[in-house]
Structure 1
Amino acid sequence: MMKRIVGIVLVVLCIFALVACSGSGGETSAEPPASAEASAEASAPAETEGSAATESAAETEGETVLAEVIDTDMSVLQGLKVGYAQRNTNGAWLIAQTENLKKIAEQYGVEFIMTDADDDQNKQLSDVEDLCAQGIDILVYPPIEYEAGAAALDIAAQYGVPVMLLGNDCAKEDSQYVASMLFNYVMDGGACGEYVAENLDGAKIVEIQGILGSDPEIGRSEGFAAELEGTNCEIIVQQTANFLMDEAQEVMENILQSYDGQFDTVYCHTDEMALGVVAALKAAGKEGTVNVLGIDGQKLAVQEIIDGNITAIATCDTQNGELLFSTIAAYLNGELENKDVTIPPEIIDASNAEEAMTNGMAF
């Protein structure tokens, strides 16, 4: 069934390329930062929320370039000033990712300057300007929102700072960034949707969404729904919990009051929210009676699989440091062959949860 969703992605990408793209989209940027200024005058093409997430996905399973560490001279990183406009450091996944980036930056002698937007898009844009004003050589940018987050590319262009997108995508033109290492949020949702369609026949589903309008929320909703098309599974209610555990617990408590007995599955856009849902189910004496799915791979959530309270998780790798900094080095060395790469998900369920706790899949 995943072939159907990636096929849809390919069709949309082709249409978009014919109608809206002004750049080549696949050319490698071999220029160093001093000559890699993005065009401040260009504006990103308008898209609907659905197509935004689709563009951030890879084309097809056969044509997707999967992310991998690049074999290049890493000595060019010594003394480099890299700015990282982090979305937030509230959840376990982002904390683990941030710590890995710091560790690898230190390993290669990189001056790593990080800000924390606390999931406020306006603050993140302000952070980007502050970082650029400090004379950074590279901006690493995980946008909070797909459309609004595009303004950061214009800010970076005004300072002549090359941009590398990490994790999240935003509306952009090819000239406005030098590389993207993105999680495929459509595939994340698709992996969970495929699991439901193949293992939970006739599921009545509650969907607990992330921040509405964010790239992960759009993609994970779209990918999940696409995999349910043509099945007898049904989403009966969608509510946002903004990626937060406590908020997800409160939302689930309210849903239990309004929809008790009407659903048997809860799909959450992150493990943080899945853990909040499990807490609400436990408080109501319903743990183990509802299928719960999450996305990330937190050890706390994987343990809940082992304990029988979470059904499945689509993983997202937190250890992005070597990938990011080898990509930066390859760009500086003029050796960056693939401008856009995808970090794909894997499923953890009862069949491999014990193994995932020790083999690096869970964090």
Structure 2
Amino acid sequence: MAQRRALATVFALALTLSAACGTTSENSGQNPQPGAAGGDACAGPDGTYTIGMSQANVAEPYRERMDDDIRTAAAKVPQFTVEFADAQQDNAKQVADVENFLTKQIDLLIISPNEATPLTSVVAKAYNKGIPVIVLDRKVDGDAYTTWIGADNVEIGRTAGKYVAEQLLPNGGKVGELRGLAGSTPAKERGDGFREGIRGTNIDIVTSSDGDWLREKGQAQADAMFTANPDIEVVYAHNDPMAEGAYLAAKAAGKEKSLKFIGIDGLPIPSGGLKAVEQGRLSATLIYPTAGNEAVETAKQLLIDCEEVPREQTLTTELITIDNAATVYDEANS
């Protein structure tokens, strides 16, 4: 591994790459950037590779599922060994986790950042060392990474807003918002998109609180929200666990039948959003792919196939209501 890294440095200084290396589409026709494609790290199908996966936390079911999807997909690639680190929603710990991976001289980094700005520098450090970096779900600042894989959170928020405006509150009304972690890009984008979706309607977001993506905090924030704003009719939560927490808070107050709840994630597991919609606790959710399978496939393209990959890979989403929840769940588990 160390010998391959040393050779990579020599090649980078000489600004020469083999024909198989390629560049990202964004850098096509320019001098290759460090970590821009898998060429320097790629030893082909005869190589063996250690991948470091830095997860923001595993307290969220979505992130636990992301790790499981990466683990399952990587098990099908005999050249891959994946090491996982849990940052526990702690930016400093996640920085240290990535630094530890660099000390171990990993061949590729996958990271789902806790927050964007605090993780930008260490991600750039890995990238500038010539290590391909795959950023999942949440973003970092700037463009010092190989590829980002995730869904369009603005569009997800916009779809949620339109659903509330057209189906839940067609005559207008009051919404309480449970946001994700303030410094994470999906929280801002899902909030911005929702506001676009309800623009021009008589819907008011009367309060917004940070639930940090967690069910327990979402429940506590919703409880306070209902006390301060008893006229709330819909809770828009930035993920399903917070939406379920809001439902529990409403149930404890005897208000669950008079309120509607919408979340995001739509995990196809018994405790996930698909079942919550099917069972009537949530009015809707939106599928938010974990990108675990796509991350491993991209790692294979970079390390084994020596192929270029796009700078961004946007995954599709889907609105889930009572009309399609059972079908989508069954298809996901077939």
The interval holding the TM-score normalised by the smaller chain is: 0.7 to 0.9
In the alignment, structure 2 segments of 5+ residues that lack a partner are 1-23, 29-35
State the partner residue of 2:96: 126
Deviates more, 1:146-155 or 1:242-251: 146-155
- The Cα of 1:157 is off from its aligned counterpart by 4.0
1:190 partnered with 2:161: no
8 Å CA contact retained: 1:291, 1:310: yes
Paired residue total: 298
Secondary structure in structure 1 of the residue aligned to 2:113:
coil
Aligned equivalent of 2:112, options 139, 142, 151: 142
Secondary structure in structure 1 of the residue aligned to 2:330:
coil
Quickly say closer, same or farther: Cα 1:353–1:157, change in 2 above 3 A. Answer: closer
8 Å CA contact retained: 2:180, 2:212: yes
State the partner residue of 2:314: 342
State the partner residue of 1:178: 146
State the partner residue of 1:66: none
Distance 2:163 2:133 in 1: 36
Amino acid paired to 1:33: D
Aligned equivalent of 1:237, options 207, 215, 237: 207
Quickly say closer, same or farther: Cα 1:126–1:348, change in 2 above 3 A. Answer: same
Q: Deviations over 1:310-363 (max 9, x none)?
A: 111011123x3431122122223343352311012211011112212211189x
- The Cα of 1:188 is off from its aligned counterpart by 1.8
1:330 partnered with 2:301: yes
Distance 1:116 1:343 in 2: 24
- The Cα of 1:87 is off from its aligned counterpart by 0.6
Between 1 and 2, higher relative CO (CA 8 Å, sep ≥ 6) is seen in 1
State the partner residue of 1:100: 69
Q: Using structure 2 for the length normalisation, give the TM-score.
A: 0.83
Identity %: 27
- The Cα of 1:93 is off from its aligned counterpart by 1.2
Amino acid paired to 1:196: V
State the partner residue of 2:40: 33
8 Å CA contact retained: 1:297, 1:361: no
Quickly say closer, same or farther: Cα 1:106–1:303, change in 2 above 3 A. Answer: closer
8 Å CA contact retained: 2:127, 2:146: no
- The Cα of 1:293 is off from its aligned counterpart by 0.4
State the partner residue of 2:249: 280
Which residues in structure 2 correspond to 1:309-328 (within 5 Å)?
309-318=281-290, 320-328=291-299
Quickly say closer, same or farther: Cα 1:108–1:286, change in 2 above 3 A. Answer: same
State the partner residue of 1:161: 131
Quickly say closer, same or farther: Cα 1:273–1:31, change in 2 above 3 A. Answer: closer
Distance 1:115 1:243 in 2: 19
- The Cα of 1:138 is off from its aligned counterpart by 0.5
8 Å CA contact retained: 1:317, 1:361: no
- Aligned Cα RMSD in Å? 2.4
Question: Highest CA radius of gyration, 1 or 2?
Answer: 2
In the alignment, structure 1 segments of 5+ residues that lack a partner are 1-23, 36-73
